[in-house]
Amino acid sequence: MLLVASSAMAQNQKATIDVRGNCDMCKARIEKAALKAKGVKYAVWQAETEELRLIYNTKKVLLNDVAQSIAAVGHEADGISAPDSVYAALPMCCKYESGNPHKAEDDMLMEHKSKEHK
Ligand SMILES: [Cu+2]
């Protein structure tokens, strides 16, 4: 990491992707997986919204690769499912497929409408 932080080299892109999860353990796991992807500078996930905010270097990594590495640790990311074996090994509190206790269906719909991707 010898790159000098400079706005002249702004290849950094902000993005928000949907990542399924429930709790603080999920949060730690998701953020760790995201930050492990090369070129990811910032990753913060919120249980309430199941959204992961990212800042990443578009020259180093594709958003899809970040989503892949998160899915690989057990959390469905940007529509990419986690492998069954990995999901099965998650602690009970992290089993988001049985329904997120923090969130009702209606909230999910609302959220989708309010999200402006393009
Ligand atoms: Cu969890």
Q: What is the pLDDT of residue 113?
A: 47
Q: What is the pLDDT of residue 98?
A: 73
Domain ranges of the chain: 10-97
Say if domain 10-97 classifies as CATH 3.30.200.20. Answer: no
Mean pLDDT (whole number) for 87-97: 94
* Residues that place a CB less than 5 A from ion ligand 1: 22-23, 25-26, 93-94
Q: What is the pLDDT of residue 18?
A: 98
Q: How many angstroms is it from 44 CA to the middle of ligand 1?
A: 15
Closest to 81 (Cα-Cα) out of 20, 40, 33: 20
Q: How many angstroms is it from 21 CA to the middle of ligand 1?
A: 6
pLDDT for 114 beyond 50: no
Q: How many angstroms is it from 2 CA to the middle of ligand 1?
A: 35
Q: How many angstroms is it from 57 CA to the middle of ligand 1?
A: 28
pLDDT in tens, 12-71: 999 999 999 999 999 999 999 999 999 999 999 999 999 999 999 999 999 999 999 999
Mean pLDDT (whole number) for 87-112: 69
Beta bridge partners of 17: 52
Mean pLDDT (whole number) for 75-80: 97
- Residue 109, CA distances (Å) to 45, 58, 78, 113 in order: 19, 30, 16, 6
